[in-house]
Amino acid sequence: MASEKQSTERYNPRTVEAHWQRVWDERDLYRCDNDDPRPKYYVLEMFPYPSGRIHIGHTRNYTMGDVVARYMRAKGFNVLHPMGWDAFGMPAENAAMQNKVHPKDWTYQNIATMKAQLKLMGFSIDWSREFATCDPEYYAHQQKLFLDFLAAGLVSRKTAKVNWDPIDQTVLANEQVIDGKGWRSGAEVEQRELTQWFFRITEYSQDLLDAIDTLDRWPERVRLMQRNWIGRSEGLRIRFEFETPPSSGDPVLEIFTTRPDTLFGASFMALSPDHPVSAQCAKENPELAAFIEQCRRMGTTAEAIETAEKRGFDTGLTVRHPVVEGKLLPVYVANFVLMEYGTGAIFGCPGHDQRDLDFANKYGLPVVPVVMPKGADPAAFSITTEAFLEDGEIINSEFLDGLSVPDAKEAIAVKLENIEVAGAPQAAREVNFRLRDWGISRQRYWGCPIPVIHCETCGAVPVPDADLPVRLPDDITFDRPGNPIDHHPTWKNADCPKCGKPGRRETDTMDTFVDSSWYFARFTAPQAATPTDRAAANDWLPVDQYIGGIEHAILHLLYSRFFTRAMHRTGHLDLDEPFAGLFTQGMVVHETYRRADGEWLAPADVRLEGHDADRKAYEIASGKELKIGSLEKMSKSKKNTVGPEEITGSYGADTARWFMLSDSPPERDVEWSDAGVEGAHRFVQRIWRTVMAAAPIVAGAAGNGEMSEAATVLMREAHRTLKAVSEDVEGLRFNVAIARLHALLPQIAGVDADTAKADPSLARALSAALDMFIQMIAPVMPHLAEECWRRLGREGLVAETPWPDVEAAYLKQDTITLPVQVNGKKRAELTVASDASGDTIEQAALELDAVRKFLDGRPPKKVIVVPGRIVNVVG
RNA sequence: GCGGGCGUGGUGGAAUUGGUAGACACGCAGGAUUUAGGUUCCUGUGGGGCAACCCGUGGGGGUUCAAGUCCCUCCGCCCGCACCA
């Protein structure tokens, strides 16, 4: 340091950051009191799963949340900014199986590690509200919610075909099956018939869909994904009479269609292999039974579905066409009909549905076009291999002929509603949703036990409130596949709460998405004796700003929206939508490094040389050259992670926080690079030098006389930046706010010490501008801000200082410089009084040499003056 | 297949929503300071041209006094859903 030319010491983040973190802790600065009278603001980042260690990629969304929290605190709000742990789940059990550690110990150790790592980052979190979802104090309340939902009819137990993950040996929700594979294990998912617990989310299908329109501070993308997932479609349920009923005796076959306008083009009926009539027929037909068996084995992956041939089996049954006298339609079992949607049966209209057309062509069924492009020649219009799906003109359909598709839909609906078949109208209007009920049963240990006791006499009996929580047993083994709780020798044994006879505890635990569906409500009163303190929850909720990854666009966010409604119905909350504002942040990505033998290497073990295309990477230990791979999300598996300690130890948390929000817009990915971190750190040091150099001048600043020109200019810059930065932070445009602060610092640093000594007003302006600058960087770089504040001799903590007010006087300008265009091209600039009239500006513009030159002596055709913006002379 | 988004210098990106394109940063080049490297400071940096100027926001076309921004069309990339009747 002695060789440093600069007289000031370098800023040492390691000691400074630790110091201020201690000060904040000692003062309990970020504790949030529910009784605080100030207006409330709830900012929340999606809480983490305690997987082991945190890497810097995890911390970007907490940094964003922290900037918002610190800013809103400075703006005078009582800010709730809590943190907890989404602590149940399979990885804990995997660790138990692999490393012989208890899931509980593994989880709580990880929490301790990760909490310490988060603390290094200096987040302004109210740690007094911390909880983990695996705390019995938390899941006890979750069990209470389950029982209340059960009592309210929002829980059902039913047999259903479920997605079975053969590796995790558990059931998965539809949302957890990605491309036919388990979302966590990656195993090919199988279909199994099991009795399961379900939350009746479908009860709210319409409401969940409608309310999306009210979520105006959610990204459009997420709203769209949820709309598609809920998947509403309007149509007609039509009852087709069997010519000869099947042996089950059903007189009619019910189908759902969104295209009743194509009814005259029907040429067959198709049943799902899982349809009861299919099963009935299979009893008497071994070949059909074999066909159904085959269908069940068919893969459910996207590829399997795409390449799967449309296949069917003729049951021999026929139904009567509802409106064509004497027309009979054959009934097939077909592999492409889903039991889960509609009624599990369809009518096939080959002309206007591609699947039906493929099927009809394969089995030689008639193809009758009933819609043609408007004005086409019906005699010349035919369909061979491409179904016609667009709107047009109805043909070959008796009383529908000539109508448009929407008109035909209405006409056929009215007609069928007024026909009776087997004692009921032939058709009824119906709305169907893709959304399925949420299966929450998991055959795993490390989850919230479902508080039910099965009794031979009384059935499934809720555990009485007084007996909650139903605790997970601690003595558990993981020596064989399947559900470990089920293998416990005694845990299952429990007497029926109703009749007292010996019963059996439910051994299923809840899907971990249940845990995260209401934690935001628990944070508002984490010590409450009931799941929520209703008053506190109503006060705080909805969350004003929720921040998390796009990967939760459907699962977590939809479940939370359902839970909030269910908690409303059961009296735990008085609102329906949990998150008023949602922001989906981009990830931190990093290049990957790979040895010739395929082994990934962590950035810390890699040395880089060269620039751009010539960059080379070497393994530090061996000196061997490595392959530099593409930018990828930081992940354990590719080892492209950087730990917070690596950064806080040398550069400091502020540098990391600043860098993560610089350059890239927050919704996009940011590339973590050493060069970028160093750049951010250089700025930290530049701030420090500027503050240190200004400190003596600031210390001497006094008086309140007339402002010099230089002082006014500096104040204008500061206030203009303040206004812009405030708006940027409120709009979460952190990268832009940072760019503005980059631009302001040279204005401050550029104040000449001697001039300022001679000009007291400039010294005062410098002092004020520095204060504002420090306050503006504080949300992103809180430690540096505190240290600068102290070095300038300011009172108290920046973290407790109100956000400065923009002084309108400094935003006003006496003169403005307007660009002057001739025929739309900029040719000159014009400086005029800011309140100059349009005529004055026009005259001044026309006198400019450049304007005259380009007008070439001709009079202008038109002059457009946009006040405060631009002048355009049209020649 | 259906739905949505994006395309701006060598790079990340900005552009007050139709009004000076390239703010700010990274990188690079030159210079100063330094025994040297790093640090720090200054200058330059979209392309072409000696210059006046010309060209320029994926390509083409259009609306407008004025287009990165609006409209049409084509190309490329990314994401989501996917046998939903």
Q: Which residue has the tokens 């006298």?
A: A325
Calculate the angstrom distance between C1' of B52 and CA of A651.
51
Q: Which nucleotide is nearest to A676 (CA to C1')?
A: B26
How far apart are the C-alpha atoms of A872 and A379, rounded to whole Å? 61
User: H/E element holding A393?
Assistant: strand A393-394
Instruction: Count other C-beta atoms under 10 Å from residue A190's C-beta.
Output: 15
Closest protein residue to B65 (Cα–C1'): A874
Whether the Cβ atoms of residue A570 and residue A563 lie closer than 8 Å to each other: no
Q: For residue A231, which nucleotide's C1' is closest to its Cα? A: B84
Smallest CA–C1' distance to B16, residue? A724
Please report, rounded to whole angstroms, the spatial distance between the CA atom of protein residue A861 and the C1' atom of nucleotide B18: 21
For the CA of A332 and the C1' of B54, the distance in angstroms is 72
Residue nearest the C1' of B83 (CA based): A336
**Which of the residues in chain A have pLDDT under 50?**
1-7, 301-302
Give strand letter and number of the nucleotide nearest A674 (CA to C1').
Answer: B26
- Round to whole Å and give the CA distance between A659 and A780: 10
Give all strands (DSSP E) within A434-469, no chain letters: 438-439, 441-442, 452-455, 459-462
The confidence score (pLDDT) of residue A5 equals: 37
Query: B32 C1' – A62 CA distance, angstroms?
Result: 43
Is the ipTM value over 0.90, yes or no?
Answer: yes
Contacts of A243 by beta carbon, 8 Å cutoff, 6+ apart: A317, A318, A319, A320, A328
Å from the A831 CA to the B66 C1': 20
Residues with Cβ within 8 Å of A216's Cβ and at least 6 positions away in sequence, in order, are none
Nucleotide nearest to A335 (CA to C1'): B83
Across all strands, nucleotide nearest A671 (CA–C1'): B12
Pick out the nucleotide with least CA–C1' distance to A825.
B66
Give the closest nucleotide to A680 (alpha carbon vs C1'). Answer: B25
Q: What is the pLDDT of residue A8?
A: 60
The whole-number Å distance from A659's CA to B34's C1' is 29
Measure A173 CA to B51 C1' (Å): 71
With 0-12 / 13-18 / 19 or more C-beta atoms within 10 angstroms meaning exposed / middle / buried, residue A281 is buried
Q: Give every CB contact of residue A303 below 8 A, 6+ residues apart in sequence.
A: none
Contact A669, A732 (CB under 8 A): no
Cα–Cα distance, A59 to A64 (Å, whole number): 9
Distance between start and end Cα atoms, chain A: 65
Q: Chain B bases under 7 Å from protein CB? A: 3-5, 10, 12-16, 19-21, 23-28, 33, 35-42, 53-54, 65-67, 79-85
Q: What is the pTM of this model?
A: 0.93
User: What's the CA–C1' distance between A221 and B80, in Å?
Assistant: 9
Q: Which residue has the least CA–C1' distance to nucleotide B81? A: A228
- Identify the CA nearest to A351 among candidates A363, A362, A361: A361
As a rounded value in angstroms, the CA-to-C1' distance for A244 and B5 is 53
Distance between CA A103 and CA A442 in Å, rounded? 16
Q: Which nucleotide is nearest to A613 (CA to C1')?
A: B10
Nearest to A34 by CA among A515, A534, A572, A518: A534
Strand bridging mode A40-45 / A78-80:
parallel
Closest nucleotide to residue A741 (Cα to C1')? B24
Q: How far is the CA of A862 from the C1' of B85 (A)?
A: 62
Closest nucleotide to A869: CA versus each C1': B19
**CA A663 / C1′ B26 distance in Å:** 9
Placement of tokens 């036990």 in the chain:
A449
Distance A826 CA to B73 C1' (A): 30
Tokens of A142: 């979750």
**Å from A333 (CA) to B28 (C1')?**
69
Q: Give the closest residue to B80 (Cα–C1′).
A: A225
For residue A304, what pLDDT is reported?
A: 58
Integer angstrom CA distances of residue A462 from A142, A442, A453, A563, A660 = 14, 18, 6, 20, 49
- Per the structure, the residue whose CA is closest to nucleotide B24 at C1' is A739
Which residue is associated with the tokens 């997987």?
A51
Q: Are A30 and A124 in contact (CB under 8 A)?
A: yes
